[in-house]
Amino acid sequence: GQNIDQPTEMTATEGAIVQINCTYQTSGFNGLFWYQQHAGEAPTFLSYNVLDGLEEKGRFSSFLSRSKGYSYLLLKELQMKDSASYLCAVRGSGNTPLVFGKGTRLSVIA
Amino acid sequence: DGGITQSPKYLFRKEGQNVTLSCEQNLNHDAMYWYRQDPGQGLRLIYYSQIVNDFQKGDIAEGYSVSREKKESFPLTVTSAQKNPTAFYLCASSFREIHQPQHFGDGTRLSIL
């Protein structure tokens, strides 16, 4: 089976840094994806990791440890517009569809 | 502009009726997917298709049907057999390479009258 866990909700202050964790157990692994979803809107792609280490893209970075089945999304210099749900998704064996976690709802407060 | 178009944005259905949700993409993507999103449940896979005239069931296919007659189109029919159809439905598409992300349409919100 496949299992992806993320915290349900987080709150952080504008200008701060927040780390959203994701742990996974899947049969096979062909990469981990992070998406951002504002309420009532489509998820938008943020990052992809398939090798261990940190991938940086502007204010957002994503880290992967395959041996630990663990990833995190790091958001720096938080802005109010970063208030959204962040979805962790894994591609298992072969070219199978992404399996999504339930998402972490991030609230950025002044 | 290239993208994925879902229509309509809001849809209402009477009990016992079938309803079809449209999904069209002009990104030349090979694969297309339908997900359902309920509050607190995340995205759950209904059906997917990796090539024209072929599709596979996802985790929650009961009460749904699809077709893939054209590369650009992957309509989803919610049948009367689906007992709890009220949800946000998201269509996605991607290239077939495993590192390629899935891109999503804006979704259709289906409600039962």
Residue B1 has pLDDT above 90, yes or no: no
Phi, psi of B14 (to 5 degrees): -85, 155
Please answer yes or no on whether B97 and A95 come within 8 Å at the CB atom. yes
Neighbours of A60 (CB within 10 A): 17
Taking the Cβ of residue B45 and every Cβ of chain A, the question of whether any pair is shorter than 8 Å is answered with yes
Taking the Cβ of residue B48 and every Cβ of chain A, the question of whether any pair is shorter than 8 Å is answered with yes
Nearest chain A residue to B97 by CA distance is A95
- Partner residue opposite B40 with nearest CB, options A43, A99, A102: A102
CA distance B103 to B32: 9
How many Å is the Cα radius of gyration of chain A? 13
Distance from CA of A14 to the nearest CA of B (A): 25
Q: What is the pLDDT of residue B41?
A: 82
Q: What is the pLDDT of residue B23?
A: 97
Please answer yes or no on whether A44 and B105 come within 8 Å at the CB atom. no
Chain B residues in contact with A42 by the CB 8 A cut-off are 90, 104-107
Tens digits of residue pLDDT in B61-78: 999 999 999 999 999 999
For residue A40, what are the contacts with CB-CB under 8 A and spacing of at least 6? B88, B107, B109
Q: For every one of its 110 residues, what pLDDT tens digit does chain A have, with 9 covering 90 and above? A: 689 999 999 999 999 999 999 999 988 899 999 999 999 899 999 999 999 999 999 999 999 999 999 999 999 999 999 999 999 999 998 888 999 999 999 999 99
User: Would you say B70 and B53 are in contact if contact means Cβ atoms under 8 Å apart?
Assistant: no
Tens digits of residue pLDDT in B23-73: 999 999 999 999 999 987 889 999 999 999 999 999 999 999 999 999 999
Tens digits of residue pLDDT in A41-61: 999 999 999 999 999 999 999
CA dihedral sign, ordered A57, A61, A65, A68? negative
H helices then E strands: how many in chain A?
0, 11
For residue A89, give the amino acid letter.
Answer: A
Taking the Cβ of residue B103 and every Cβ of chain A, the question of whether any pair is shorter than 8 Å is answered with yes
CB contacts < 8 A, A to B, total 54
User: Would you say B38 and B82 are in contact if contact means Cβ atoms under 8 Å apart?
Assistant: no
- Exposed/middle/buried for A35, CB within 10 Å: 0-12, 13-18, 19+? buried
Phi, psi of B52 (to 5 degrees): -60, 140
Distance from CA of A76 to the nearest CA of B (A): 23
> Diameter of chain A by CA atoms?
44
Taking the Cβ of residue B39 and every Cβ of chain A, the question of whether any pair is shorter than 8 Å is answered with no
